[in-house]
Chains A and B, each alone.
Chain A
Amino acid sequence: MVNRMIFENVLHRPIRTLVSVLAVAIEVGMVMLVVGMTHGMLHETARRVQGVGADIMVQPPGASLFLGLTQAPMPVQVGERLAQIPHVLAVTPVLLFLNTRGGINLIYGVDMPTFKQVSGGFIFLRGGPFEHPYDMLVDDWYARSNDVKVGETINLLNNNFRVSGLVEHGMGARIFIPLSTAQDLTGARDKASIFYIKCTDPGYIQSVSTSIRGLLPTHQVLAVKEYVSLMTSNDLPALDAFITAMIAVAVGIGFLVIFLSMYTTITERTREIGILKSLGAGKRYIIGVILREAGLLSVIGILAGYGGTWLARKAIVAAFPTLTVELTIHWALLAGLLALGGSLLGAFYPAIRAARLDPVDSLAYE
Chain B
Amino acid sequence: MGSIFLETVADETRARTGCMEPIIATDNLTKTYRVGKVDVPALRGVDLVVQEGEFLAVVGPSGCGKSTLLHVLGGLTRPSGGRVLVDGNDFMRMNDGERTKFRRHKIGFVFQRYNLLPTLTARHNIAIAQHIQGDGFNPHRFDSVAEMLGIRDKLDRKPYALSGGEQQRVAIARAVICEPKLLLADEPTGNLDTENSQVVLNMLRNLNRDFRQTILMITHNPEAASVGDRIVRMRDGRIVSD
Contacts and interface: CB of A to CB of B under 8 A. Distances in A.
Contacts of B142: none
B202 interface: no
Nearest to A271: B115
Contacts, number: 72
Interface in A251-284: 271-272, 274-283
Nearest to A359: B76
Contacts of B118: 12, 272
A2 interface: yes
A280 B120 contact: no
Interface stretch (B18-26, B57-65, B126-134, B216-224): B126-134
A27 to B, nearest CB: 27
A279 B132 contact: yes
A29 B105 CA distance: 47
B44 interface: no
B77 A279 contact: no
B124 A281 contact: no
Size range of the chain A interface in the assembly = 20 to 34
B17 interface: no
A5 B117 contact: yes
Nearest to A5: B120
Contact of B101 (A8, A12, A282): A282
B111 interface: yes
B174 interface: yes
Interface in B127-178: 127-129, 131-133, 137, 174
Contacts of B120: 4-5, 8
B77 A1 contact: no
Contacts of B117: 5, 272, 275-276
A168 B117 CA distance: 66
Contacts of A275: 115-117
Contacts of A363: 76, 111, 115
Nearest to A276: B132
Contacts of B111: 278, 363
Interface of A: 1-2, 4-5, 8-9, 11-12, 271-272, 274-283, 285, 358-360, 363
Interface of B: 71, 74, 76-77, 97, 100-101, 103-105, 107, 109, 111, 115-120, 124, 127-129, 131-133, 137, 174
15 contacts: A1-B124, A1-B137, A4-B120, A5-B119, A5-B120, A12-B119, A278-B103, A278-B115, A279-B103, A280-B129, A282-B97, A282-B104, A283-B100, A360-B71, A360-B76
